[in-house]
Amino acid sequence: SRAFISDVSLGVKHSILLVHAKSSFSTDFELLLASSKGPTPDVAIRSTDNQIILSHRCIWNVRCPSLAPCGELHTFCTNGVNTQVPVINVSAPFDVLELFVRFVVTNNAPSFPFRFLNPLMLLASESKFSELSASCKKAFTRTWPDGMCEISLDCSGLVSALNMLTLRGADTNRDVLLEVMAENSQLRRISVHRCVLACRSEYLRNLMTGAHSIVNGKPCYRVHDISHSHLACILEYIYTDDITPKPVDNFDLLFSIMHLASPAFWNLPRLHLITQTYVRKVLNTENVALAFQKFVMICPGNAAALRQHIEDFARAYRKRVSKTIAFGSLRKRHQSLLMGDSVR
């Protein structure tokens, strides 16, 4: 199981959804390449020609576990405030380091001169970035007529790396707390990584620029109008690009998340799509009536295509669905709407 803190379990990572959108997930993390726009960096990566690229330790810990701070500190200025961060030395010139950082942070990089390929492969091997190292070796077997090389890494590597950040005790770089009201009306706090949340959610990025308290030396932000279980599910998506509700047909949770992901609230279009796809996959004759009931209650004006799919499924198996306990518990009007026996 996974947890953001010891008492917040998010379940086993075996989901129905296996396909990740490279263009959306990887692109989100390009924000970390623009230090002036993204969250404040907390590590400096130094090349052999003594040039610095500022970055974020939680990403490097899971992507390049063999690279460790050398004991020196680098000072830089942000908004008039001097900040000191640890330095990690790498065995590569700045041009190669710049390319390497793009692969570490986003799994993507533009085409580059073939002469960079060998030092890039050596750096990937030294830092135990096995996915990039293997891709570099394959690139050596190809012919690059124009002298420009191109490597494409599958987005699943970045997804897996971010998934490691949710493991209990996986790292100590959780630098922000989110405070939310739990179902038992008690406040609970979830320890997370500012840079990951800022990249994946504009809503949370804006939240983390506002008012906050300090708890155990960390900024703590209150998240309103959302339950603990719903926030935990959204955080799972933010870190893993997926969701794993328990039970799998927890329609209360699924439709609430779909509602929260809509443009009017958190505006997470991919999560909105993932949730709809998940609902379609878990529908069966026993739960389709319950799915319809929860859909009408939670998001009646949202995702018309999904509602149509639920209705079509129920009507295709009319006899079996009409005998279920869930269908019998529906109000007569909802039974008629589900089966198409009345005009809306």
Which pLDDT tens digit goes with each residue over 143-154? Answer: 998 899 999 887
Nearest to 199 by CA among 56, 46, 4: 56
pLDDT digit string, tens, across residues 14-64: 333 334 444 567 788 888 887 666 788 999 999 999 999 999 998 998 889
Q: Which residue has the tokens 């009409």?
A: 322
Distance between first and last Cα of the chain:
44
Rg (CA), the chain: 24
Q: Which amino acid is at 282?
A: V
> Across the chain, which distance is largest between two alpha carbons, in Å?
75
Report the sign of the C-alpha dihedral through residues 35, 36, 39, 42, in that order. Answer: positive
CB atoms within 10 A of CB 140: 12
For the cut 50, the answer to whether the pLDDT of residue 9 exceeds it is no
Write out the H or E segment, with its range, that includes residue 225: strand 218-227
Q: Which amino acid is at 2?
A: R
Q: What are phi and psi of 191, to 5 degrees?
A: -90, 125
For the cut 60, the answer to whether the pLDDT of residue 1 exceeds it is no
For the cut 90, the answer to whether the pLDDT of residue 121 exceeds it is yes
What CA–CA distance (Å, rounded) separates 192 from 179? 11
171 — pLDDT class (breaks 50, 70, 90): low
pTM of the model as a whole? 0.84
CB atoms within 10 A of CB 309: 17
* Averaged confidence pLDDT in the chain: 86
- Look up residue 41 and give its DSSP letter: P
Output the pLDDT for position 160.
Answer: 82
Output the pLDDT for position 17.
Answer: 39
What's the CA dihedral at 5, 7, 8, 14 to 10 degrees? 100
Higher pLDDT: 158 or 212? It is 212
For the cut 60, the answer to whether the pLDDT of residue 286 exceeds it is yes
Of all residues in the chain, the percent with pLDDT exceeding 70 is 90
Nearest to 6 by CA among 163, 176, 166: 166
What CA–CA distance (Å, rounded) separates 342 from 335? 9
